[in-house]
Amino acid sequence: MARTARAGLEPAPGELRILQALANTAAVGGESEHLTDPQALARLLTDEKLLDRGVELTADDLQRVIAFRDGLRDLFLVNSGAAFSGRVRDRLNELVQGVPMRLSFVDQGAIRVEPSSEGFDEVVGRLLGIVAQAQVDGVWRRLKVCVDSECRRTFYDRSKGVTTVWCMKRCTNRHHARKRRRRQGVSTQPDRQRPSGAAPSKPRRIR
Ligand SMILES: [Zn+2]
């Protein structure tokens, strides 16, 4: 959350801000990896009330969450126009298989997906529940990774047509400036570093 706010990004609504905060712990926007040890992960999860204070996490827990986070970021990039990769799907399925979940009816007859597990599986289950709820609510496609190769922050697209692929004005301007330079035949170093799949108008494989 802290990083999302520091970048000047508006947090995603409700529990989606937790997915956004997790995604933005990656090395994005010129910042380095935030989840460098289990303690950093524990702090993030207790801040988001997904973990009780004082619970110690292991290096395995950290690796699992980082892999899950990176899978989510790949999906957010798909929401920004990149092609969907079966490899990302398989990797995510491997990570979440065996996490016990349960369905229950809540207010107004809406269905809710919740973890029915203990220990760290419950934390992963809570994150999965948020993903499932966002898909049920139809807001999942609004969570995107900024297509600017120097940014890559996760943002929530509030535009009416869900068409924005840059997290803020600064990134849009940078894109137009590069396009202008390209037209004028000037070398554009950052664009050469752009991972495949980032171009919004021409989707390609993520990896
Ligand atoms: Zn951006």
Q: What integer pLDDT is reported at residue 29 of this predicted model?
A: 92
Q: What integer pLDDT is reported at residue 207 of this predicted model?
A: 42
- Ligand 1 centre from 154 Cα, in Å? 8
- Ligand 1 centre from 164 Cα, in Å? 11
pTM of structure: 0.84
Number of Cα atoms under 13 Å in the Cβ half of residue 109: 0
Residue 133, pLDDT > 90, answer yes
Domains of the chain: 2-156 (1.10.3300)
- Ligand 1 centre from 72 Cα, in Å? 17
pLDDT band at 8 (very low <50, low <70, confident <90, very high): confident
Across residues 3-9, what is the average pLDDT? 82
- Ligand 1 centre from 140 Cα, in Å? 18
Q: What integer pLDDT is reported at residue 50 of this predicted model?
A: 94
Residue 123 main-chain phi, psi, to 5 deg: -65, -50
Better pLDDT: 163 or 207: 163
Q: What integer pLDDT is reported at residue 117 of this predicted model?
A: 86
pLDDT band at 202 (very low <50, low <70, confident <90, very high): very low
Q: What integer pLDDT is reported at residue 192 of this predicted model?
A: 46
- Ligand 1 centre from 175 Cα, in Å? 10
- Ligand 1 centre from 73 Cα, in Å? 14
Residue 11, pLDDT > 60, answer yes
pLDDT over 70 percentage in the chain: 89
Residue 78, pLDDT > 90, answer yes
Residue 183, pLDDT > 60, answer yes
Residue 122 main-chain phi, psi, to 5 deg: -65, -40
Residue 142, pLDDT > 90, answer yes
Q: What is the rounded distance in angstroms from the CA atom of residue 98 to the CA atom of residue 34? A: 27
Residue 138, pLDDT > 80, answer yes
Label residues 40-52 b or e (16+ Cβ within 10 Å = b). ebbebbeebebbe
Nearest to 174 by CA among 194, 142, 148, 206: 148
- Ligand 1 centre from 11 Cα, in Å? 14
Residue 79 main-chain phi, psi, to 5 deg: -60, -25
Tokens of 74: 């790949």
